[in-house]
Amino acid sequence: MDLKEIMVNSVIPELVKFWTWIDESTLGVVGLASVYHISIKNVTQKNTLVQPEKMFDRENSLSGNQGPV
């Protein structure tokens, strides 16, 4: 990803612990309790509000864990 500009806006409904690019158009976000994907695929206008897609809940024993994801 060579762009250095804001492409989309998104609101994660919990504290973000970690994020990483999964591929060229999908951002993976790990929250305290759940994991989300945010896709910029098919976005035609900059600063578009994109809803995160909840992929799954984290295991309760990992929820709020300070260790590696």
Q: Which of 37, 34, 5 is nearest to 23 (CA)?
A: 37
- Model pLDDT for residues 18-61, shown as the tens digit of each residue: 999 999 999 999 999 999 999 989 888 888 899 999 999 998 76
Residue 35 lies in a domain: yes
Tell me the β-bridge partners of 16. 31
Residue 2's pLDDT band (cuts 50, 70, 90): low
Is residue 31 assigned to a domain? yes
Cβ within 8 Å of residue 36, ≥6 positions away: 12, 28, 29, 52, 53, 54, 55
Domain count within the chain: 1
Is residue 21 in a domain?
yes
pLDDT for position 26: 95
Domain of 13, in residue numbers: 8-48
Please give the C-alpha separations between residue 14 and each of 4, 41, 51, in angstroms, as whole numbers: 25, 23, 13
Q: Across-strand partners of 9?
A: 49
